[in-house]
Amino acid sequence: MLKSISFTTEENTITGYLGVNGAGKTSTIKLVAGINRPNSGEITVNGESPYENDTRHNIGYLPENPYFYEYLTPREALDLYGKLHEMDRDLRQKRAEELLDRADMLRYADQQVRGFSKGMRQRLGLVQALIHDPKLLLLDEPLTGLDPMGRLLLRDLILSEKSNGRSIFFSSHVLSDVEAICDNLIILNGGQIAFAGAQSELLGQIKSKATRIRFLGPESLPESIQNLPWSVKPSKASRGFEGQVSTVEEGQKVLAALHKEEMTVLTFQATGLSLEEYFLKTFGDHQGKALEGKDAVKESALVEDKS
């Protein structure tokens, strides 16, 4: 159950909405889409209520499990959704052809939806959310259940819509994709917001300054290498050695020493948690903790509870 959450999203950005199952992600999206109503508080989209028809025409919505009339084709389904948004016939057809092409679905445009896979339904769901050219795109788990090619295609579509000036708000459990495309993150935990801000801000907190170095060398390393300010050990992955330094300055000293001893450096890589590793570590027990120093509630809400 949501508890007095408050946040804003910005124009022309991609915001990832994260949380464990049952955290309230779908409930939030349905509230913003104008499908459900809050018990208290206020929701605004571009300063207007999402329960007004004019506002709804500026919102595109993809549910987690999109449903279509099984005996319609994609062209027929998109024509129906275009009519619901009061689009004229020529514009409906033009937008449908353009979007089906971008979603790599033109070859399936005249096949009945009943034979479509999960991935094909997801693609069609995203296309229907875009048919009326909305300003805000709400996507509930758009990447779940897709094969790698399908995920990449939808990721590219989402990124291209940002470049077209659209604001995108989506929930996902595929955190590697979230890390790859999102500008901002909102993390929901126990019905409250644990973090809301730029993804770079959060990643800056969880990325380490430590660096891992893998290199090839003789079975017995010279003392000049062993006595460096680092921990070094044999590496099964590279059939050589790997060590870790805690600062950039130490890394530079190690690289200079390895070069002097004519050893081959294989990798020089910063360590730290990925977004997925951080999320599992912090919220994996389904309880989690709010980040220290972060307000659980942001002012000036897109979704706001004033109780």
Whether 204-272 and 6-198+287-304 are alike in CATH topology: the answer is no
CATH fold for domain 204-272: Alpha-Beta Plaits (3.30.70)
pLDDT at residue number 273: 67
pLDDT per residue over 231-252, tens digit each? Answer: 788 887 667 898 888 776 788 8
Instruction: Inform me whether the pLDDT recorded for 21 exceeds 70.
Output: yes
Flag whether pLDDT at 307 surpasses 70.
no
Q: How confident is the model at residue 259 (pLDDT cuts 50, 70, 90)?
A: confident
What does the pLDDT average to over 131-153?
90
Distances (CA, A) of 52 to 20, 31, 41, 46, 136: 31, 13, 17, 12, 15
* The CATH number of domain 6-198+287-304 is 3.40.50.300: yes
Q: Could you tell me the CA-to-CA distances from 47 to 8, 90, 151, 305 in Å, in that order?
A: 11, 31, 33, 16
How far apart CA 120 and CA 5 sit, in angstroms, is 34
Name the residue ranges covered by the structural domains of the chain: 6-198+287-304, 204-272
- pTM for the full predicted model: 0.74
Residue 268, beta-bridge partner list = 213
Query: Would the pLDDT of 63 be above 60?
Result: yes
Q: 119 with 146: CB under 8 angstroms? A: yes
Residue 57 three-state SS: coil
Say yes or no to pLDDT of 30 above 70. Answer: yes
**How far apart are alpha carbons 89 and 92 in whole angstroms?**
5
